Every structure is written in structure tokens, then in C-alpha cells.
Amino acid sequence: MSPFNLETCARPNILALEPYRCARDDYKDDGTNVLLDANENAYGPSLPASAVSGTGTGAGSDSGPGFDLLGLHRYPDPHQNDLKQLLCNLRTTHAHTAKALTPTNLAVGVGSDESIDALLRCFCTPGRDRILVCPPTYGMYSVSAQVNDVGLVKVPLLPAPTFALDVPSILAVLTSDPTIKLIYLCSPGNPTGSLLSKSDIAQILAHPTWNGVVIVDEAYVDFSPSPSDSLAEWVLEHPNLVVTQTLSKAFGLAGIRLGAAFTSPPIARLLNALKAPYNISVPTSALASAAVSPAGLEVMRKNVAALAKQRNRLLEALPKIKGIGRLRGGTASNFLLYEILNAKGKPDNATALAVYQRLAELKGVVVRFRGKEHGCEGCLRITVGTEEEVTRFLAALEEAIGEVHRG
């Protein structure tokens, strides 16, 4: 049984927070009320008639994006319970528990990054507390820690190709350092593309003395083999777990900036108390709701299947290209991490960087150089594209490697 105690783990000033009370908390817009409570512009948005003519008023409308532009002079729903329920429906699979997720288990924000930062502000006292990360991993954890004047402890993942958690080392650090309040884990990992072991995460959650919170970042989980790979339901059994997700990846909605944090109701209450009162816009809410509706999920799964087909194509084609080394991570995401070899057949950062630059500057194909990440020497991270994009990439890559090798 974890010793997690919210009252002693969270910052006292955050525990004492009362959520900002919005004007729309008491009386909502039902289409008949005269709303003179929130200092809104009653004449509506300053848009020309051409910008609003034919605008759809519901998700799935053929004449617009699924929201009424004429209603944009009203502040959005501060609680987003309808959207939260759709997200709960998606992640309640009963693969891990008979219980069901409810909107009380959720905080929604501006991408996953808002939750990453908010958790630091909830639990870490600046200048005193620290977080633990396992490189190679997503860079925003350390950026947010630095912004919040929170220390950083690194326990690297085990070497490629597994990129698994070094559980004994993590447990030892947690035992010896009570200033660590948060652990950020990425599964599937970025840039590794590997799923973390559920049993490894369970061991950390069950640490017998550590009073802190485990965050599992599942930005890419919908590309993994099974819906049960998500640990969102685990928050119903573990009071010190947060699982963050986003609509930016599998749902293809990076532009609307919608993230979700599944957790226990007490932690969700803290996150919701901390957030800005109207952090999810009306267009974002409408588009997100359409995306996680049954019809939207059908589109998402069709697109994920198409990307998986191209991912398999890359896995087959890349090893045949001279100068391509080993796959250095997993295949549970929409990207792959591959070594680029120098003329002597060794993974090499200088060669990988030169190939990366040549691809972008001379051939119009942009991938990501990851060679400076822990355990990723000579690696490029390649996002899976459409069939046409993959065709162009493979040809450009073979040319670029050949040109770099020839000097």
C-alpha cells in the first residue's frame, strides 16, 4: 500500500486554493436567458457577415466546423463535463478494473504541457523540491522544472533497444531523497517509441515510503497495439497516479491544443482549482467533442491503421538502405528511432546531423536529429507520414546518406 498522502505532499498554498468562481457557474446559457453577468459583448464577435454565414451550429454539421461563431462573445464552459465524459467513455475499458472513470477524474488543459506544468506548481516548492525523469525522454519535463525553480534528478532508461525503466535505481533514489515529489514517465516513450512495463510502473507506485506522484505521459498511446495499453483506468486504484493524454497525435488535432489529465478526484480538484477559469475555448471544445464521439473515433482508428501500414513499410524498407543502422526503440508510436552510420559503419552524430540537414535544406524533407539524447548516438527520429510522404522520404534519405558518405 502506497503511503501517498495528498495533504502532506501537495503545497499548502495549493491545498488551500478555492477554484475561481466564474460568472457562468450559477446560470448557463440555455438560449433564452439575458446574460448580463460576465462583462461580455452582447453584440457578438466583430466578424463580417461573410465569416459567419452558413456556419454550422452542431458537431457534424455539413455547413460549418461544429460550433456557432455568433456565440463566441460568450465565455466557454469552465468545467467541460460533457467533453470529460466522452474522454471517460473512451478510456473506460474495464481491462484493469470494474470501476468506471467519471468527469471527477479529469482535468483538461491546453495540451499536455499545461498539466505537466500545473503538477509542478501543485506539488513542488520552488527552490526546495525536485522531480525525477528517465532520459531519453520528452524535454518539457525539465523545461517546466527549470521555469518553476524545481530541481531535476535523472535516472536513465536501460540501454536500447529496450529503453526500460531502471526500477532498482529509481526505488533507491526515492528511498534516499524525500525532496522528490514527482516522477515523469513517458509511455510510449519520446523519442524511444517503447511502451514501459506495467509491472515496472506498479512497483514504483507501490514504493513503501515515498510520498509523491507518478505521472505517465501517454501522448502516443493510441498508436500502441491494444486499448488496454493505456493506464488511465489505473487512477481508480492508485491515488498518486496521473495519466496525461492529448488529441495532438493520433487524433490529428495539434492545432486545437487539447490535453487531458486522468487522476484521482482529490488531485483533479487541485488541478481544476489551479487552472485559468476558461482555459478550453468554445471551438476547441466543439472540435474535441466531435473527435472523441463514436463517428470521430472511427475516423481516428482508420487514420491510425493507415499510419501503422506506413510504419511497417518503413520497418521493412529502412534496413535495406546502405548507411542505416539499428532500430533503437519500439514501434508503439507514430515515429521510429534509427541509427545513421558513418562511412565506417558506426553510428555517428556528425553523420546523422549532416544527413538531417541535407534532407531539410536540399530535399525538403524534415525529420528530427536526436543524437544528443541519452543513449541515442547517431539517431534520427522519423515521424510516419502518408504513403506519398514515405515514398519521398525513402528516396531522399538514400540520396542524402550517399552524398554525405561521399563527402
pLDDT of the residue at 58: 44
Provide the pLDDT confidence category of residue 71 given band limits of 50, 70 and 90.
confident
Tens digit of each residue's pLDDT (9 = 90 or more) over 272-307: 999 988 999 999 999 999 999 999 999 999 999 999
Tens digit of each residue's pLDDT (9 = 90 or more) over 212-268: 999 999 999 999 999 889 999 999 999 999 999 999 999 999 989 999 999 999 999
Cell numbers given for 295: 463517428
The dihedral region occupied by 365, where left means phi > 0, alpha psi between -120 and 50, and beta the remainder, is beta
Provide the pLDDT confidence category of residue 407 given band limits of 50, 70 and 90.
confident
Least confident interval from 54-63, 132-141, 253-262, 309-318: 54-63
Triad 52, 57, 58: Cα angle to 5°: 145
Provide the pLDDT confidence category of residue 64 given band limits of 50, 70 and 90.
very low
Q: What is the mean pLDDT of residues 333-362?
A: 95
pLDDT greater than 60 at residue 52: no
pLDDT greater than 50 at residue 65: no
pLDDT of the residue at 53: 53
pLDDT of the residue at 74: 86
Tell me which CATH code domain 298-406 carries. Answer: 3.90.1150.10
Compare 1 and 400 and report the one with higher pLDDT.
400
Q: How many angstroms separate the CA atoms of 393 and 338, rounded?
A: 14
Tens digit of each residue's pLDDT (9 = 90 or more) over 10-46: 888 888 877 766 666 665 666 666 666 565 666 666 5
Least confident interval from 34-43, 53-62, 196-205: 53-62
Cell numbers given for 149: 525553480
> What is the value of pTM for the model shown?
0.90
**Averaged pLDDT of the chain:** 90
pLDDT of the residue at 59: 41
Q: In b/e form, how buried is each residue of 41-65, taking b as 16+ CB within 10 angstroms?
A: eeeeeeeeeeeeeebbeebeeeebe
pLDDT of the residue at 67: 61
Tens digit of each residue's pLDDT (9 = 90 or more) over 95-131: 999 999 999 999 999 999 999 999 999 999 999 999 9
Enumerate the CATH 3.90.1150.10 domain ranges in the chain, comma separated: 298-406
Q: Give the strand pairing for 368-369 and 379-383.
A: antiparallel
Sheet containing 368-369: give its strands across. Answer: 324-327, 335-340, 379-383, 368-369
Enumerate the CATH 3.40.640.10 domain ranges in the chain, comma separated: 6-22+75-292
- Between 3.40.605.10, 3.40.640.10, 3.40.50.300, 3.40.50.2300, what CATH number should domain 6-22+75-292 receive? 3.40.640.10
Residue appearing with cell numbers 536526436: 370
